[in-house]
Structure 1
Amino acid sequence: MPRDHPEWINERRRELGDRIADLHTAAGHTKKSFCEATGLSRRTLQRIERGETDPRYSDLLRIAAALDTRISVLVD
């Protein structure tokens, strides 16, 4: 976890990661197929899903497109 963020930001980051993981599992994606669908590396997706990093806007766009949803569904 980044050391300079307050805990509430870390918690929201973990919530985002959990939501992405739940949605890609519900959509029937494996880790490999989700990586292929998003064009993101397995490591990047793992870090996002564990809440270890702030995803770039372009990453969120790719994830939302692969899940056939809007970014607002991911970050709500």
Structure 2
Amino acid sequence: MPTDPLPEWVVTRRQAIGSHVRAARTDAKLSQEKLGELAGLDRKTINRIETGAYSTLLDHLLLIADALRVPLTDLVR
């Protein structure tokens, strides 16, 4: 069970992953809405992941990586 509150490094790492998702999305010239459509997620979920406000599921990251046609490692580096 995760500690509450989460260690700061976890929040920082989650925000970094969100930044990688945002960079890959903008490189692909996609809006959050379009990426959401391609990944089968809603725009709010994409926004929460990009801002680090959302503790995302691995499944969501896999769907996003597939929609962006990038390896998962590009998003979690």
The alignment's TM-score, normalised by the length of structure 2, stands at: 0.88
CA distance in 1: counterparts of 2:66 and 2:37, whole angstroms? 12
CA deviations 1:21-66 (Å, max 9, x no partner) are 0110110111221111111111111111110122111101100001
**Unmatched segments (≥5 aa) in structure 2:** none
- Once the two structures are superposed, the pairs formed by residues 1-76 of structure 1 within 5 Å of their partners are 4-76=5-77
CA deviations 1:6-28 (Å, max 9, x no partner) are 11111101100011001101101
**4+ residue runs over 4 A deviation:** none
What letter corresponds to residue 64 of structure 1 in structure 2? A
Q: Secondary structure at the match of 1:12?
A: helix
The CA RMSD over aligned residues, in Å, is 1.1
Q: Secondary structure at the match of 1:60?
A: helix
